[in-house]
Amino acid sequence: MSAPVIEQLDAPETWRDVAKKALHNRSFLTGLIITTVILALAIISFFWTPWSITELDILLKLKKPSLEHWFGTDHFGRDIFSMIMIGARNSIAVALVAVGIGVLFGVPIGCWAAAKGGYADEVLMRTNDVIFAFPALLSAVMITAIFGPGAINAILAIGIFNIPVFARISRGAALSIWPREFIMAAEVAGKGKIRITAEHILPNMINLLLVQGTIQFSLGILAEAGLSYVGLGTQPPMSSWGRMLNEAQTMMSFAPHMAIFPGLAIVVTVLGLNLLGDGLRDVLDPRLRRER
Amino acid sequence: MKILTNLAKTTALAAALTMSASFVAINAWAAKTDVTLGMVLEPPHLDPTAGAAAAIDEVVYANIFEGLTRIGSKGEVLPALAESWTVSDDGKVYTFKLHTGVKFHDGSDFDASDVKFSLDRARGEKSTNAQKALFKGIESVDVVDPATVKITLSAPAGNFTFNLGWGDAVIVAPETADSNKTNPVGTGPFKFSKWAKGSSIEMVKSDSYWGKPVALSKATLRFIPDPAAAVSAMLAGDVDGFANFPAPESIPQLKADPRFKVVIGSTEGETILSTNNKKAPWTDIRVRQAVAHAINRQAIIDGAMFGLGTPIGTHFAPHHPAYKADLINTYPYDLDKAKALLAEAGFPNGFKAVIKLPPPSYARRGGEIVAAQLRKIGIELEIVPVEWAQWLDQVFKKKDFDLTIVSHTEPQDINIYARKDYYFQYSSDTFNKIMTDLNLATDQAERYKLMGDAQTLITKEAVNGYMFELAKAGVWNAKLKGMWENAPVQATDLTGVSWAE
């Protein structure tokens, strides 16, 4: 396992090589396009949506998709396309912050455990394993059930379960880098462990974190949708894909568009992010690249 | 080979068909005597004399427990454990002649001393009865002989026999009164059999019932809080019906299905935007009036209840003769006026508040619409969904809320506005005076006038936001007979229910 890494570190690629490879990677491209579109929708929703989703017009309720309302309207007469745009913003915000929490706490924990070794490493990583052993979504449901429903608690709940993921990944990566010659050189030069981690270890694990981040991001979106579906996530009037699905449930038989579009939004987004993640791994991940 | 296989298939199919045909025959031959009904809410316990939750009465009323009188499906007062009664000329002394040979489910005899015990317990100091006001006028309860009870009132009360028909006034035995919460023992035609917490309550026919025996041998009430699950339970035949179906949006679909009967009736449920009258800024009448002007009732009924429901302008059932219909125009939908009132009250830019919403869709969906409507006049509502237990604790008990939406399903319950410490915390001497007069009045015309005055007062003061009268969307198997069309009291009366041949 370690041999290919050595090779990669010895012969770093230029950005041009990476870009060239990315352009030829189909799943990376598809994922990138889907993700960009969803991101764009979310950003546009800050300035403009086809209809307002906070002003309910009951007279317009349950309209089938048309030129006026592209995805139809829901039981309150809100435009579903507008709700999906704003829902994208909500999903992305929740997932992004949750991944952020994971990186912010997980990476330092992992790096510290790798640098320190011994008992500290054992204690940290075993605690990590304990958290990791809980099914993340179930525990998130538990957390929001205790602290009350709402976007903030959903973010925290999802974020907490991102910590062990990132801790584990960064510890593994750091452990494989520590024995390297250039690290030894840095140690000999008198750099402290913190400085070495910041200057040499972290830059060499960015690729790995990026790939994992993308995957956790899609899981975060899925988790937010799940929490909102059971009523523990984002609360109205903010729109959320999961809650849209929940509300559509009893109306499936006469207004299937209410369920189809938010469902599609979740599927497409998660698919896009997973493709992007796979693509990124193919393009960036040193281990896989050598095995080709 | 091919032919053979086909032949085998056909035979199998024919066999299957014959078998299913014979199953149908068996079903038709042996009439069904058990029924499973769905309910949205699970009662916290089963003692109707110690709790305000409507779900308690919806399980036990008329089925397990009986009072001296009972309320019929049209809201009429019927004799129950009392065979007949006479009223003295001054309207103060009621003499009840009781049925004899009545036994409680535990085998003990029912007589006048149980009546005295129950009523004294309900009106006593240690009473945990949720409707103590019903018994307030009672001066004394005297046992004349085992089959006769004399109740003396401090003043004539026009609706005394109606009050005795409430679930809160049922007769319990002294030996079992304390354990009724988990093991209800009454005199009714059904006796309690088991309670699978979180799932269902079962009751079976009582063979020792004093009156006309019921047609059903067993009744199960299943708790299905989720509207979507209610729809599928109905379609799959897991339940035979819902006295009040929780998903109004599915009513057209169920109506179109010949297997089911859909009956839209009335309830006593005034669905209101309850306002904490003792918490700023709701203490200011102008703020409450602004809210009243900003609420569009029809939009709430159409959006939350899919059109099921009657707009109300006050806390009174619209099908009652004393209902004042014109009060609905007291605060017409007028956003400019609402904004002006808010500005006058010192909130030209509105303010932020919290609305706590219990699970029923009238509340959760209605709350979303109310929030959207109030946003138009600058009041930003944070929506907080709560479960029933939390609602009872935070809102009803601790009064920690700004706004909430709830349906008050007790009959003629306008007197709650006179209650000290009731959760919406209204207090008005004028109103209390009207209620005292009403309790004393026996002349119907005068009573109706006083009821009208009370309605006018609470509407003018915009105590709460008056939205709509809950409809009762009954859905049940087309072969099920005898279910109530309306809900004049909180009840799932199964005494007249049977299966058609």
Q: Looking at residue A288, what is its pLDDT?
A: 47
Distance CA B476, CA B224 (A): 15
Domain identity same for B348 and B390: yes
With an 8 Å Cβ cutoff, is B303 touching chain A?
A: yes
Residue B417: give the domain boundaries: 269-470
With an 8 Å Cβ cutoff, is B385 touching chain A?
A: yes
Q: Is there a contact between A75 and B227 if contact means CB atoms under 8 Å apart?
A: no
Q: Looking at residue B9, what is its pLDDT?
A: 52
Q: Which amino acid would we find at residue B245?
A: F
Domain identity same for B313 and B461: yes
Q: Is there a contact between B253 and A231 if contact means CB atoms under 8 Å apart?
A: no
- Chain B residues within 8 A of A76 when measuring between CB atoms: 303, 365, 368-369, 372
In a domain, B22, yes or no: no
Pairing of strands B260-275, B465-477: antiparallel
Give me the total of CB pairs closer than 8 Å, taking one residue from chain A and one from chain B: 58
pLDDT digits (tens, 9 = 90+) for A127-144: 888 888 888 778 778 887
Name which of B231, B303, B376 is nearest A76 (Cβ-Cβ). Answer: B303
- Chain A residues within 8 A of B228 when measuring between CB atoms: 249-250
With an 8 Å Cβ cutoff, is B235 touching chain A?
A: no
To the nearest whole percent, how much of chain B has pLDDT over 70? 94
Q: What DSSP state is assigned to residue B392?
A: I
pLDDT digits (tens, 9 = 90+) for A80-128: 999 999 999 999 999 999 999 999 999 999 998 888 888 888 888 888 8
Rounded to 5 degrees, φ, ψ at A146 are -75, -50
Name which of B227, B231, B383 is nearest A236 (Cβ-Cβ). Answer: B383
Residue A2 has pLDDT above 50, yes or no: no
Q: Is there a contact between A76 and B372 if contact means CB atoms under 8 Å apart?
A: yes
With an 8 Å Cβ cutoff, is B17 touching chain A?
A: no
Q: Is there a contact between A254 and B376 if contact means CB atoms under 8 Å apart?
A: no
Distance, in angstroms, between A39 CA and closest chain B CA? 27
Domain identity same for B277 and B257: no
For B231, the closest chain A residue by CA position comes to: A250
Mean pLDDT of B68-90: 90
- Chain A residues within 8 A of B247 when measuring between CB atoms: 250
Mean pLDDT of B446-454: 92
CATH of residue B360: 3.10.105.10
CATH of residue B261: 3.40.190.10
Q: Is there a contact between B231 and A251 if contact means CB atoms under 8 Å apart?
A: no
Contact B251, B308 (CB under 8 A): yes
Distance CA A129, CA A142 (A): 19
Q: Is there a contact between A55 and B372 if contact means CB atoms under 8 Å apart?
A: yes
Instruction: Using only the alpha carbons of chain B, give its radius of gyration.
Output: 25
Residue with structure tokens 């199953």?
B23
Distance CA B476, CA B262 (A): 7
With an 8 Å Cβ cutoff, is B383 touching chain A?
A: yes
Domain identity same for B358 and B238: no
Task: Please state the domain count of chain B.
Answer: 3
Domain identity same for B366 and B274: yes
Q: Is there a contact between B303 and A237 if contact means CB atoms under 8 Å apart?
A: no
Name which of A54, A250, A251 is nearest B372 (Cβ-Cβ). Answer: A54
Residue A45 has pLDDT above 80, yes or no: yes
- Per-residue exposure over A143-170, b if at least 16 CB sit within 10 Å of its own CB, e if not: bbeeeebbbebbbbbbbbbbbbbbbbbb
Mean pLDDT of B449-473: 94
Q: Is there a contact between A55 and B303 if contact means CB atoms under 8 Å apart?
A: no
Query: Please, which residues have CB within 8 angstroms of residue B20's CB and are 6 or more apart in sequence?
Result: none
Q: Domains in chain A, start-ordered, CATH in brackets? A: 15-46+76-291 (1.10.3720.10)
Q: Looking at residue A51, what is its pLDDT?
A: 87
- Chain B residues within 8 A of A148 when measuring between CB atoms: 384
Average pLDDT across chain B, whole number = 89
Q: Is there a contact between B250 and A253 if contact means CB atoms under 8 Å apart?
A: yes
In a domain, B55, yes or no: no
Distance, in angstroms, between A233 CA and closest chain B CA? 11
For A255, the closest chain B residue by CA position comes to: B249
Best A147, A239, A250 residue to mutate vs chain B (most B CBs within 10 Å): A250
Domain identity same for B364 and B440: yes
Best B352, B377, B383, B405 residue to mutate vs chain A (most A CBs within 10 Å): B383
Q: Is there a contact between A56 and B383 if contact means CB atoms under 8 Å apart?
A: no
Contact B245, B251 (CB under 8 A): yes
Residue B19 has pLDDT above 60, yes or no: no
Q: Looking at residue B72, what is its pLDDT?
A: 87
Residue B68 has pLDDT above 60, yes or no: yes
Domain identity same for B318 and B372: yes
Domain identity same for B336 and B392: yes
Give me the interface pTM, i.e. the ipTM: 0.75
Name which of A61, A148, A249 is nearest B303 (Cβ-Cβ). Answer: A61
Mean pLDDT of B281-291: 94
Mean pLDDT of B251-260: 91
Distance, in angstroms, between B465 CA and closest chain A CA? 19
Helices A80-116 & A26-47 angle (0-180, nearest 10) = 120
Distance, in angstroms, between B306 CA and closest chain A CA? 9
With an 8 Å Cβ cutoff, is B227 touching chain A?
A: yes
In a domain, B11, yes or no: no
Q: What is the DSSP string of B97-149?
A: EEPSS-B-TTSPBP-HHHHHHHHHHHHSTT---TTGGGGTTEEEEEEEETTEE
Q: Is there a contact between B231 and A250 if contact means CB atoms under 8 Å apart?
A: yes
Q: Is there a contact between A235 and B383 if contact means CB atoms under 8 Å apart?
A: yes
- Chain B residues within 8 A of A250 when measuring between CB atoms: 227-228, 231, 247, 249-250
pLDDT digits (tens, 9 = 90+) for B335-350: 999 999 999 999 999 9
Q: How confident is the model at residue A200 (pLDDT cuts 50, 70, 90)?
A: confident
Q: Looking at residue A292, what is its pLDDT?
A: 35
Among B160, B179, B198, the domain-final residue is: B179
In a domain, B28, yes or no: no
Distance, in angstroms, between B353 CA and closest chain A CA? 14
Number of H helices, E strands in chain B: 13, 19
To the nearest whole percent, how much of chain B has pLDDT over 90? 68
With an 8 Å Cβ cutoff, is B470 touching chain A?
A: no
Name which of A58, A149, A231 is nearest B302 (Cβ-Cβ). Answer: A58
Q: Looking at residue A30, what is its pLDDT?
A: 93
Distance, in angstroms, between B67 CA and closest chain A CA? 39
In a domain, B21, yes or no: no
Q: Looking at residue B30, what is its pLDDT?
A: 58
Domain identity same for B463 and B353: yes
Residue B182 has pLDDT above 70, yes or no: yes
- Chain B residues within 8 A of A253 when measuring between CB atoms: 250, 253
Distance, in angstroms, between A112 CA and closest chain B CA? 41
For A52, the closest chain B residue by CA position comes to: B372
Q: Looking at residue A135, what is its pLDDT?
A: 80
A82-96, A134-148, A177-191, B100-114 — which is least confidently predicted? A134-148
Q: Is there a contact between A249 and B369 if contact means CB atoms under 8 Å apart?
A: no
- Chain B residues within 8 A of A75 when measuring between CB atoms: 249, 303, 306, 365
Residue A259 has pLDDT above 80, yes or no: yes
Among B119, B152, B179, the domain-final residue is: B179
Distance CA B427, CA B261 (A): 44
Nearest to A244 by CA among A53, A108, A9: A53
Q: How confident is the model at residue B172 (pLDDT cuts 50, 70, 90)?
A: very high
pLDDT digits (tens, 9 = 90+) for A217-246: 999 999 889 888 888 888 888 889 999 998
With an 8 Å Cβ cutoff, is B228 touching chain A?
A: yes
Best A52, A56, A79 residue to mutate vs chain B (most B CBs within 10 Å): A56
* A24 vs B191 pLDDT, higher one: B191
Alpha helices in B345-443 (DSSP H): 361-375, 388-390, 429-440
Domain identity same for B322 and B352: yes
Domain identity same for B97 and B152: yes
Mean pLDDT of B218-241: 92
For B359, the closest chain A residue by CA position comes to: A231
CATH of residue B160: 3.90.76.10
Give the side-chain half-sphere CA count within 13 A for B344. Answer: 13
The predicted model scores a pTM of 0.79
To the nearest whole percent, how much of chain A has pLDDT over 70? 93
Domain identity same for B281 and B367: yes
